[in-house]
Structure 1
Amino acid sequence: MTDQAWILIAVLVVVLVVVGAVALTTGRRRRGPTTLPPEDVSPYEVDQPPAAGASAPVVTAPEEPAPPETPAPTLERPEPVAGRMQRLRARLARSGTIGQTLLSILSRGDLAENDWEEIEETLLLADVGVGPTTELMDKLRTETKVLGTSDAEQVRAVLRRELLELVDPTMDRVLHVEPAIGDDGQPHPATVLVVGVNGTGKTTTVGKLARLLVAEDHDVVLGAADTFRAAAADQLSTWGARVGVPVVRSEREGADPAAVAFDAVKEGRGAGADVVLVDTAGRLQNKAGLMDELGKIKRVMSRQAPVREVLLVLDATTGQNGMRQAEVFSQAVDITGIVLTKLDGTAKGGIVVAVQRELGVPVKFVGLGEGPDDLAPFEPEEFVDALLS
């Protein structure tokens, strides 16, 4: 081989040695120093494996945080029944236009025929009714002549006595909620059916009546048999929830109201309730089909327990139209009592006299405002005194 060939081989060897050394150094720098892996971190505390014959390792789980406690709903305590009329007497006195007008006329002294006509007109406008008005006019004429006086206090005493007689304090105004004894000899809850036309405040009255019964320590179950309006069932459920009273309702709009009423009474029997209040859909008195439905509801309820009360809710401001409503409802379901709503602030207080005289059915409750406890048992003397206050 020539000298040039040997030189070329020597150069190649040197290049290979240098390249290998550089590669070896770079690889070591990239890998870095060798270190031990870090210890595993675990959320649990685990002992090392035991030696032979030692007990099993103990595993302790971290404590779960306690779920926040849901506060129990605070139930309202309705106002006691005693004293409601006294508290509401000032409101009832707003309808004292009758008494104020009559006293103003009667205290004039010797009354002319025009004065007597004005008295008669005042009574008729107050919806006392033609028959009762005629009776009251005759008695007032006679008494004032016998007394021979125009003293306002004496005339007021005569007027109070005659109005109280017309209102008739002897009528039975008790809401009969004593347990009924069934054919099986077992006590059944007293059942109360509430009826009326649209817009009289019927569902609200049922809610307020439930509060009144709770205030008297009765166990109550509500039945939402107004199945045409979901809002009515929702409204009744709200009333019940405020005082801890269960509500039986149908989740299907348009369900058979008689079936809901039946289920409500059945639930009341099973729960050992004292009273079952059943709300019904408002209906016009001239709709024969809807009026017949009320009779069906009452009959179906009676299969579970006798219906003790049928309350008709009347708007006091409707006057003689309310009288026509009362007559038709009474024919359909045998009304046992009247609830007069919206009696505050109206001059139509005479409807009390008219409706009782026509139907022979007592006014048992009066609604005197929008507050939850603005429903009170009707007391004839309180009512007449408020009219003449």
Structure 2
Amino acid sequence: MISYSKRSTSLAVLLFGLFYSAHAQGPRVGVAGLNHDHIYNILNDYSKGRVNIVGIAEPNRKLWAKYGKQFHIPDSLFFDDLKTMVSKRRPAIVLGYNAVANHVDIVEVCAPLGIPVMVEKPLAATLVQAKRIETLSVKYNVSVLTNYETTWYPSYKAVYDIVNKDSIGAIRRMVVHDGHQGPREIGCSEEFLSWLTDPVLNGAGALNDFGCYGADLMTWLMHGERPIAVTAIAKHYKPNVYPKVEDDATILVEYKTATGQIEASWSWPFSIKDLEVFGETGYLHALDGKNLTMRMRENIKSVKTVPPLVAPNDDPVTYYNAFLNKSIKADDDRSSLKYNMIVMEILDAAKRSIKEGKRIVL
């Protein structure tokens, strides 16, 4: 016999599921994977009714229980594999929250069905995988997007706008710092760490994890220009913590008229994401997501808070909604496959430079 309390709980869960499905906002969204800690972002949006998740594909049932309980996700939304989920739920887009090396597997399933994909950065673990994604995208005319946290930073958009108004002259140098004390040190989940610190599943360590941010920003600031050469070094400051992968990388990116320096690390004394751009006549420094310093010659302006971004370029949900509604093309920006193929070329050249100990000409 089922107790009154159990029947009440079951009824509450059923009613919640019915209520939520009737009130969720936006297009039908599928989720591939739960072993990426960025999953909290989209599930928080789900809990607020901003995202209409119709199916979640994840083989690890412990993660079903973990996130199902935390975000009140009905059991009916969970599936063991992506093929089953997309065939039964028919999402308008699939969001990837799994190991970087498995992004290509999502596209293998979704592209032939005409379902666009948006994955967490970087696009892939290797350039070979990225090229396979590109091939599938072209063959089936399906978009593959990449989500970066820094895409939604108002200060970075302000830097881009100021540069494009020619307010600091032509770009001569870009410097990007990204990272934190280390994924284990800041308390990332074991499921996340199991692939993030694996050279095959992540493609590298800090170089892929945080080097991709700088490569993406520089590609955007340079309007999709491919660099002419890449030189990189890697350090292994914490071999006992991260025995398989580097925890620090510095990447020098050469353009015809500018130089970029990417500093990616799991060994910073604090969390950092900032962007510096030096032009012929001025300097911009996005200190974080909201604050910007501008210096023209010797005229130093105080740090100012940048106004919030406006839709549809203010967060990933409004962005992909606009893409699905065809109000934006999403084919020539930080999330686009076009730009992220260049990102993958830069990361691949950096790995080759480290391995061969020389400058790699693209």
Q: Give the TM-score of the pair, scaled to structure 2.
A: 0.28
User: Bigger relative contact order, structure 1 or 2, given CA contacts below 8 A and separation 6+?
Assistant: 1
Say which one has the larger Rg: 1
The structure carrying a bigger strand percent of its residues is 2
The structure carrying a bigger helix percent of its residues is 1
